[in-house]
Amino acid sequence: MAAAPLSAGAQTEPAAPASTASHPASADTSEPAVDCSANPDEPSCPTPLSRSLKAIGAYVSAPARWDARDWLLFGGAIASVGVAHHFDSSVRDHFAGNAPTSVSNGSPDTLQDALPAAALFLGTWGYASLTDDDDGRQEAHAMIEAGVLSVATAYAVGYIARREGPNQTSDPNRWESSGTSFPSEHATMAFAIGTVLAESGNGRYRWVRRLLGYGVAGFTAYERLNHNAHWLSDTVAGAALGAASAHFAMNRRQNQESRGTLALEPISRGVMLTYSAHLP
């Protein structure tokens, strides 16, 4: 009768520790995972330059990973630019007409029209810093990434297209000339920043975010038309490029955050395998 309790006790004593202790070499040879957020100078952690180069490489090679939906959206953007091009002259006539300043060969209100998008970014970054909100800082970083990548692309396309703007000519088909009107860099930047604001964060205040983000972006595009700085198709192309770049930056960060991390942590009489993942 006494043998049964002794047998049960022997089975339930330290079964788990014994299994971990049976592999002491694992505890001696394993290295804990490096926390790059706390130790950014570790050799195994990515540098700002390496992260930037990786982002540029992923951005340039993105079309190679597009699926049918992405190509459909791209085709829709091209079609939208084509439709807008049909109305370029009529929109220019509406805003500028035959005013003496309609052809001035200048770039009117460049700084003024950049302020709304800049205010969105500074407001996001400032509020995140004030409240020590890491999600807000990540949102501001996505704005920077989307803005830089999209504007660089807009500049490259503009250099190739060399389209004269409505402040340089009344002919919307002056391509390969002396201008850099297509696409609008102001609209590109505004939609890059505005789309990140509109589609980031939780859905509790989604309508407020979208109203503010897309409202500021649309207002910027309108002002470029109102100031006779761009054709309608310039702003449509810029909006498509900025929004697409914003989704690229947001998706890239979400993919990075969703990746789990495996690590070995030393415990008494052995090691413990841990897994951590970011949950939204």
Mean pLDDT of the chain: 80
In degrees, to the nearest 5, what angle opens at C-alpha 191 toward C-alphas 189 and 197? 110
Of residues 117 and 46, which shows the higher confidence score? 117
- pLDDT digit string (tens) for 71-119? 999 999 999 999 999 999 999 999 987 665 566 655 567 889 999 999 9
The length of the chain is 280
Residue 73, Cβ density class (10 Å: 0-12 exposed, 13-18 middle, ≥19 buried): middle
Of residues 178 and 192, which shows the higher confidence score? 192
Determine how β-strand 270-276 pairs with β-strand 261-267. Answer: antiparallel
Domains annotated for the chain, with CATH where assigned, are 62-261 (1.20.144)
Q: Average pLDDT of 6-19?
A: 42
Cβ atoms 242, 191 nearer than 8 A = yes
Of residues 230 and 34, which shows the higher confidence score? 230
